[in-house]
A = this chain, B = another copy of it.
Amino acid sequence: MSKRGLLIVLSGPSGAGKGTLCNLLLQRRPELVLSVSVTTRPPRPGEVHGVNYYFTDVENFERMIEKGEFLEWAKVYNNYYGTPKKFVEEQLQQGKDIILEIDIQGARQVKENCPDAVFIFILPPDIEELKNRIKKRGSETKESFDLRIKSAEEELKAVSDYDYAVVNDDLEEAVKKLESIIIAEKCKVIRNKDLLHCACKEGIKL
């Protein structure tokens, strides 16, 4: 299979529920590959190294930045997060579709580096609901809570830079939309130019 895979960027404000959505999507479509980020933030309870994140220290992370080993990286709430470039490129070349579940700063860099990626913005059903979800996460101080809310409101405006917006109201509905977006993107003529050209010229079986 020579066809290049899709790079799918799932992003949105903190607390929009993109992690939950992403997990459900991966259950439904096990052929999708999740890109695992590198981070300097300490693991939350239950998080596993190499599954949720590659946990590393600041020194190592900054060395990787210098070497240009990230597709994107960002410093959020004093922690570094980054997507290792090599892994993503390998998957795409093998024709595999890869999901990046990243924050908005990161998505901006991916857009600069990979304009042919698919950018999907996950929206909370409303701002009140967003606050509730951030509250429920529980691990926040009052100060970091206020910072997150303000930042989320700011981040919502970034939606205009994305290809698609999916409201995370009904989880089933939202996952179905993500699946549909992936199927549709694979049907795009612009992503199948070589294949279609061959088929129309030579009359080969598609």
Binding site for B on A (CB under 8 A): 120-121, 123, 125-128, 153, 156-157, 159-160, 162-167, 169, 176-177, 179-181, 183-185, 187-189, 192-193, 196, 199-200, 203-206
Residue of B nearest to A195 (CB): B165
Tell me which residues across on chain B come within 8 A of A203, comparing CB atoms.
Answer: 126-128, 153
Tell me which residues across on chain B come within 8 A of A189, comparing CB atoms.
Answer: 121, 159-160, 162-165
CB–CB A164/B183 < 8 A: no
Complex A-B: 25 CB contacts under 8 Å = A123-B199, A123-B206, A126-B203, A126-B205, A127-B203, A153-B203, A159-B189, A159-B196, A160-B196, A163-B188, A164-B184, A165-B187, A165-B189, A165-B196, A166-B187, A167-B206, A176-B183, A177-B187, A179-B180, A180-B181, A180-B183, A181-B183, A181-B184, A181-B187, A183-B184
Tell me which residues across on chain B come within 8 A of A160, comparing CB atoms.
Answer: 189, 193, 196
